Chains A and B, each alone.
Chain A
C-alpha cells in the first residue's frame, strides 16, 4: 500500500482512537451483569432467626474474614418488661458457634443478625479522604483495598459498627454483600446457608423480586432511621429495643 501524506494524516487519529480502546481496561468479569439494572439490599426476618451462626461461619469462609472479626454477626437480645429501653445484648464470638442456653428465660429473647446496611447515603463513604470506599452504581458499599490507607475514619463514621481494620491487609474491611457472588447471579453466602430463610438478598430495581410484595404486606423497619442513612437492610418483626 502506498502511504501518502494525506493517507497518513487520516490513519493516525484512527489508530490513536483504536489504541485508546485497547488500553481502556480488562473486559468485565461478568459480561451479562449490568450495574445499572440492580439496586441491592437485604431482608432479614427476625421472627425466623434461630441464632445457629451458619451465616457468620459461611461469611468468614467465603470472604476470608480473620478470626475475631465479623462482616456479619448475630446479637441475642434479652428484654425485660420493666426495662424495655435497656436491653441486654450479647454476641459471643459473633454468634459463630451459636449461643449457650440463656439462664434467665424471663422477658423477651430473640436474635438479631447484623451486617452492613449498604446505605444509599452512607456516612462511611462520605468521610473517606482518598476515595477508597464508595457506593457502587448497583447500591453496594464497597472498599477498594488497593486504594485504602487504613486511616480508620470510616470505621468511626459507621453508625452501625459494621466496619473493621483487617489485620492482614491493614485496610478497612466490611460486608461486600458478596459482590463477587451477586454479580454472577448467585445469592450471598449468608443467605445461601440460612436454614430458615431468615436472610434474603433483595434486588430493589427488579420488579419481579418478591421483596416488593413483602415490603407492601409486612411491617418492616430499618436500623436507626433517624440518622437518614438510607439503609437497605430491612428487618421484619423488629422489636423497638433493637439498636
Chain B
C-alpha cells in the first residue's frame, strides 16, 4: 500500500493548510458570488452558512414533527370529524344490563298473559325486577331476586302532591298499615277483584 500523500498545487506547495471544511466554505462563497452579482443580494446572502444551518435545523424539526405526529395520533382520528372514529364502535360494544321486555316475554309467556289483562299491562318487566340481561343470558344459574313489594310498589304509588292527580296513589301507612302490598294485590294484575280469575281467555 502506498502511503497517503498530502495533495499539493502546481508549485508543489502543500495544500494541508487548506482543510476540507474551509475549502467547501470557500467554494460556496465563490458560487454565491457568481450567482448574485448585484451588490444588494451579495450583502443579503453574505452569511449564507448561518441561514443554511438554520434551515437544516428547521428541516430536522419538521421531519421529527411529521414522524411523531404519525406515530402518536390514532389512525381513526378524523375519520368522521375531530375525534377518534374507533371510539364510536368501542362505546357501542359495551354489554347491556337490561335485557328488554321482548327478551323476557320470549320465555315468561304466562306472566305476559296475566299482565295484559290488568292495569300493569304497559309496564315492562325490568321496571320492578331490575336489570336481567345476565339472567336472560344464563337462566339456569343466574336467578333474579323477587322484589320487596312494600318498597317497589310505594315508589310509584306512595301519595305525593307532585304526581299527576289521575295516577292511583295511596298513603301506605293508612292504606295497609305496614302489610306488604302483595298480601292483597297480585302485582302482575293488581286489581283485587281480578285476583284468582284465570289468566287467559276465560271460558265460562
Interface flags, B163-174, vs A, CB<8A=1, else 0: 110010001000
Nearest B residue (CB) for A180: B94
Decide if B126 is an interface residue (CB 8 Å cutoff).
yes
Q: How far is the CB of A110 from chain B (nearest CB, A)?
A: 5
Which of A48, A58, A135, A142 lies in contact with B164, CB distance below 8 A?
A48
A66 to chain B, nearest CB (A): 15
Give the B interface residue count (CB, 8 A): 43
Q: Classify the interface of chain A: helix, strand, loop or mixed.
A: loop
Given contacts A102-B162, A187-B100, A197-B122, contact A146 B91 (CB under 8 A): no
**B83 adjacent to A186 (CB under 8 Å):** no
**Residue among B80, B86, B123, B164 facing the most chain A CB atoms (10 A cut-off):** B164
Closest to B78 in A: A131
Considering the complex, give the chain A residue whose CB is closest to the CB of B120.
Answer: A195
CB–CB B160/A99 < 8 A: yes
- Contact A137 B126, CB 8 Å, known A51-B160, A186-B96, A189-B98: no
A180 touches B92 (CB 8 A): yes
Number of contact residues on A: which range applies? Answer: 35 or more
Interface of B is mostly: loop
> Which of A22-30, A149-157, A206-214, A216-224 sits within the interface?
A22-30
Distance between Cα atoms of A49 and B190 in the complex (Å): 20
Contacts of A142 in B (CB 8 A): 87-88, 91
B6 at the interface (CB under 8 A from A): no
| B92 proximity list for chain A (CB < 8 A) | 28-30, 33, 179-180, 183-184
Give the contacts of B72-112 with A (CB-CB under 8 A).
74-77, 80-84, 86-98, 100-101
The answer to the question of A159 belonging to the interface, with a C-beta cut-off of 8 Å to chain B, is no
Flag if A52 contacts B156 (CB, 8 Å): yes
Q: Which residues of A contact B89 (CB under 8 A)?
A: 25-26, 28-29
B74 proximity list for chain A (CB < 8 A): 147
A181 interface residue (CB < 8 Å to B): yes
The verdict on A169 contacting chain B, using a C-beta distance below 8 Å, is: no
Interface status of B113 (Cβ within 8 A of chain A): no
Query: Which chain A residues numbered 13 to 55 have a C-beta less than 8 Å away from chain B?
Result: 23, 25-26, 28-30, 33, 35, 47-54
